[in-house]
Amino acid sequence: CTSNPCENGGTCTVNGTSYTCQCASGYYGYNCLSDACGSNPCNNGGICQVVGTTFQCICSTGYTGFTCLSDVCSSSPCSNGATCLADGTSYTCACKSGSTGPLCKTLVDSCTNNKCKNGAVCTVTGATTYYCQCVFGFYGDKCQYNSCSVKPCKNGGTCKTVGTDYTCKCKTGYYGTNCENDPCTVKPCLNDGKCKVSGSSYTCTCMDGYYGTTCQHDPCTIAPCQNNGVCFVSGAHYYCQCQQGFHGTNCTQDMCSLKPCLNNGTCSLEGSGYKCTCPGDYTGLLCQSDPCASKPCANDGECLVVNTTYSCKCKEGYYGRDCKSGGWYPCAVAPCQNNGVCFVSGAHYYCQCQQGFHGTNCTQGNNMCSLKPCLNNGTCSLEGSGYKCTCPGDYTGLLC
């Protein structure tokens, strides 16, 4: 023992000519060289612990056995399709619907809770399945429906089950498989009229201007526009677009009804318009021009309208219908001198002389004082186109 052959704290004891080693806890072998956990004997993540001269494995969740080799669920301990769940070094079973117990071996009757409705018979078809045999008139996986349960009949219709089907008894005025239609469904009211159910029929409230059971008539229905006039609806009324030559609310009046021709002209329709035939010497589109409009009287003759023609009142010296005949005119030769104005007087003339002149033809009197107009020895002197009297003593006045 002198050489201390026992390792790892082992105690050496002389045994005859040899020795024996008493190993410390956890070690073994002739010289105590071997560690009980040295070979990593624990599997699947198990933890090795030395216990005396041997070891113990603390296994990970889901494993068991001396060296943690066994999966707790590897033997499929759970029945009826249950799921095995590791729980430390043991397990639990998560049962499917229809089974119970620690290992889910006990089956539950799927009809136990009487899931079938309305008197249906329940038949088990598996651990978790069943079948409901429905009473006549019902349907659905649990026989929860009948044909009237969804209230298919509209508008107050009454539903009646017929086998697996139904019929609807509709209220008056409604029709269709589900009483979904009423008299207004087909939109009988025309021209935007409003339909209202009335008993088994309907009534239409028409827009302004329309009338009839279905508002089918408008103000133009009776063709009020005459003479090919075109009718247009305007609100509750109508208006006519007349053809040329006609007018009035209904295009009944022609252009001559307005009496467009003046001065007793005669109106006659012509094409899309009219024509005026004028009486006498009247002219113009409407006979609006009288006979004197063209100034037919020559030589300053005066034109007078007489009925539908004219008469000329001629200046002295002229004669004829238009005063174009004659031509002798006393003033024509301008007899009045010194800017005197000539006036005709019958077959003669007289002159109105400018101031300062006198005589038949205004030829005399360039010197007004030659006439000695100033009385009482007044003195005459020319002034402008006239003269001025300067009076003696106490005489006064224009001519003293």
Write down the pLDDT at residue 37. 82
Question: pTM for this structure?
Answer: 0.29
Write down the pLDDT at residue 366. 61
CA separation for the pair 244, 225 (Å, rounded) = 13
Please name which of 138, 141, 157 lies closest in space to residue 149, comparing C-alpha atoms: 138
Domain 367-400: homologous superfamily in CATH: Laminin (2.10.25.10)
Cα(first)–Cα(last) distance of the chain, in Å?
205
Write down the pLDDT at residue 169. 93
Please name which of 157, 163, 141, 139 lies closest in space to residue 149, comparing C-alpha atoms: 139
Amino acid, res. 215: C
Write down the pLDDT at residue 347. 58
Q: What is the pLDDT tens value at each position of the chain, 400 positions in all? A: 988 989 888 899 998 888 898 888 777 777 887 777 877 889 988 888 887 777 889 888 888 888 888 888 888 889 888 889 888 778 899 988 777 888 888 777 778 776 888 889 998 877 667 899 988 878 888 888 888 887 889 988 999 888 778 899 998 888 889 998 888 888 999 988 999 988 778 899 998 878 889 988 888 888 889 888 999 888 778 899 988 778 888 988 887 877 888 888 898 887 767 889 988 778 878 887 777 877 888 888 898 888 777 888 888 777 788 887 766 667 777 889 888 888 877 557 889 887 777 788 888 766 677 778 899 999 998 776 678 899 999 999 999 9
Task: Sketch the domain layout of the chain as residue ranges.
Answer: 367-400
Write down the pLDDT at residue 272. 66
Amino acid, res. 211: Y
Please name which of 271, 247, 250, 249 lies closest in space to residue 258, comparing C-alpha atoms: 247
Write down the pLDDT at residue 389. 93
SS in 3 state form for 87-121? ECCEEEEECCCCEECCCCCEECCCCCCCCCCCCCE
